[in-house]
Amino acid sequence: MKPPVNVTPEQSVAHLHPDVWSLVNRLHIRKIICEFAHELIIAPQLQYSENGWGYYVLRTDFPDIEYRFRARVLSLDHWYIDTASLSKYIGQETAPLESLSFIIEFRETMGLSETVIPVYLEEINSTLCGSAYMHTYNKLTAKELAVSDYQVIEQAMMAGHPCFIANNGRIGFDSADYRQYAPEAADPLALIWVAVHRSRSGYAGVTGLDYDTLIADELGAEVLAAFKQQLTGKGLHPDDYYFIPLHPWQWFNKLVNLFATDIAEQQLVYLGYGNDYYLPQQSIRTFYNITSPHRRYTKTSLSILNMGFMRGLHASFVVTSPPISEWVNGVVQADDYLREKGFVLLEEVAAAGYTNPHYAAIIKDDNASYNGMLSVLWRESPVAKLRPGQRMMTMAALLHVDSYGNALLPELIKASGLTTHKWIERYLDAYLSPLLHCYYTHDMRFMPHGENLILILEDHIPVGAIMKDIGEEIAVLNEEIPMPDNVKQIYMKVAPELRILSIFTQAFDCFFRFLSALLVEHADFPEEQFWQLAAGCIGKYQEQHPDLQDKYDRIDLFAPEIVKTCLNRLQIRNNRKMVDHMYNPFKSQQFAGTLKNPMAAYKPQPVLTAPLAGQA
């Protein structure tokens, strides 16, 4: 049982037990070596091979310190490391495995600057603390999770982003905040509502969703009337304000102090807690309404540093999301192929943002954290996307390994009654096929990593996919596609060789690489079979859409090599602001070498037509 939110000082460290700490450091160093070797930051040296395993030595920046382990290098340069084999030597003596020491021992190799390294170590320490908490208290088994509902699964996720090694920094949370607001620890909580003066704020909604309709839906008549009465009791006019929900942490830690002038001048008015209770999602600043699940997801500003970004929502940027989302959703809904595949979007239907004039006057960079402290985005509830007999699961769950070392995916496949081969085939049809169609037919690319996608399941089998985070992460790669003026900002000019990275990087390298390795380790499913199935999915799509052959030739998913995009290199370079260009993240990317494409071996061969009789 997890501890209560209001813990004693002793309870706040109960999960930091020596045995648990040793385990999470071992698992984390396994991940560090895997990802840093993948990105060519470090170079383990093969000593010898035996029974299909290589035995490696990894030498540090210190001549007398090295690591030893056995591993298999799988497709896409993925290092499948035997966790138990990991050991550290100082001279001829073994030493404890410690992630923080590992980073210090490779500081020169990594090129960590004086500015970056202390924050990086703090992020890693926080990541380890979260892992220790989860290994102590998250005791649902993979078998139990395979048949659990959406929010139970969401709270049980343990790994975070599979590529980043400092992926749960959450710098700004204290130990009590962690238990209140981290998705794996939080109990249901209410959001704080404030009124923001319209002279300093804006609202945008999709067609037919004006502010009055939205706020009546979200608050209900009784709470809405009470909030309006608060304003009239202060001599203020409710029609002069927008009502905005916000993260409780943001109120206590940022707004009360930094927006004190706005509060004193009644440009910003505290209203109180809403009646509905929410659970934070894996994205940490997005909330799912458990009191009224039909009501919308609520995405809030949260000024903590997490995985290379201050998690704000920028006032002028957030209100562009509804028109973008509406246009993209129109494209998806009008497409017969996408409907057939069960591919839908969670439309970002409304947004509101408040601009503090003091910070806006001196900070012109709209991507600056001080301009993103008080905004909200409302997204459709995924509940409305389900038909009777269907349930949901975050796609990130397919990579989940429980605290006992057992993977969820094999249990999910077992519950379905399908073979692993058939289940993966169905999964690829629900996930990869729509991405291919959006890319090749509509020149649209999403950011389809595990946390951004919800799988729709029937009888534990994928039958559809729900894509979210549209406004921030959609891009159209063809400027000739007609778009309304208020949507044209999503056009992204990308070099031809980088256009396909949204699939190669986000789907193949950042998800399939881990999925295929998990199947090797936990289901004894050969990786060659996985990549053959992926190639078959792509080949089938191309056969069904021969009119796009020119695009297949120019942007070839069966190309011999893939440019290697390096996410940890990106974070190491600047862990406070990984991407400088909000509308074009490619300008900040870090690359290191290439990957051998595991699907190149399965490239469809052109069909040779036999000549007619009498022809040479």
| Cβ proximity of 288 and 300 under 8 Å | no
Q: Tell me the β-bridge partners of 120.
A: none
pLDDT for position 616: 41
Query: pLDDT at residue 340 above 50?
Result: yes
Average pLDDT over residues 62-88: 98
Question: Phi and psi of 191, rounded to 5°?
Answer: -95, 150
- Side chain identity at residue 223, one-letter code: V
Mean pLDDT, rounded, for 187-196:
96
| Residue burial 430-459, b: 16+ Cβ < 10 Å; e: rest | bbbbbbbbbbbbbbbbbbbbbbbbbbbbbe
- Which residue has 């088994």 as its token pair? 141
pLDDT tens for residues 14-43? 999 999 999 999 999 999 999 999 999 999
Whether 96 and 45 have beta carbons less than 8 Å apart is answered as no
C-alpha span between 585 and 582 (Å, rounded): 6
The listed range with the strongest mean pLDDT (292-296, 562-566, 590-594) is: 292-296
* Strand 192-197, strand 268-273: pairing: antiparallel
Cα-flanking dihedrals φ and ψ of residue 201, to 5°? -145, 170
Mean of per-residue pLDDT scores for the chain: 93
* Structure-token pair, residue 371: 């301009």
Asked if 392 and 236 count as a contact pair (C-beta separation under 8 A), the reply is no
Least confident of 95-104, 194-203, 347-356, 605-614: 605-614
CB-CB contact of 170 with 307 (8 Å): no
Q: What are phi and psi of 246, to 5 degrees?
A: -145, 160
Sign of torsion over alpha carbons 320, 324, 326, 329: negative
Of the candidates 373, 329, 320, the one whose C-alpha atom is nearest the C-alpha of residue 350 is: 320
Q: Any idea which residue has 């008080």 for tokens?
A: 374
301 backbone dihedrals φ, ψ, rounded to 5°: -70, 140
Separation CA 358–CA 561 (nearest Å): 50
Compare 558 and 498 and report the one with higher pLDDT. 558
According to the CATH classification, is domain 11-137 in 2.40.50.1070?
no
Give the strand pairing for 343-345 and 461-467. Answer: parallel
How far apart are the C-alpha atoms of 172 and 192, rounded to whole Å? Answer: 19
pLDDT tens digit string along 408-467?
999 999 999 999 999 999 999 999 999 999 999 999 999 999 999 999 999 999 999 999
The pTM (predicted TM-score) of the whole model is 0.94
List the one residue out of 571, 401, 450 whose CA is nearest residue 35. Answer: 571
Categorize the per-residue pLDDT at 365 as very low, low, confident or very high, splitting at 50, 70 and 90: low
Query: At 411, which amino acid appears?
Result: E
What pLDDT is attached to residue 472?
A: 84
Regarding the domain delimited by 383-467+494-602, which CATH topology (the fold level of the hierarchy) does it fall under?
A: Transferase(Phosphotransferase); domain 1 (1.10.510)
Rounded distance between C-alpha atoms, residue 260 and residue 266, angstroms: 10
Residue 9: what are its φ and ψ, rounded to 5°?
-55, -40
Kindly list the domain boundaries of the chain, sorted by start residue: 11-137, 175-379, 383-467+494-602
- Rounded-to-integer distance, Cα 400 and Cα 406, Å: 8
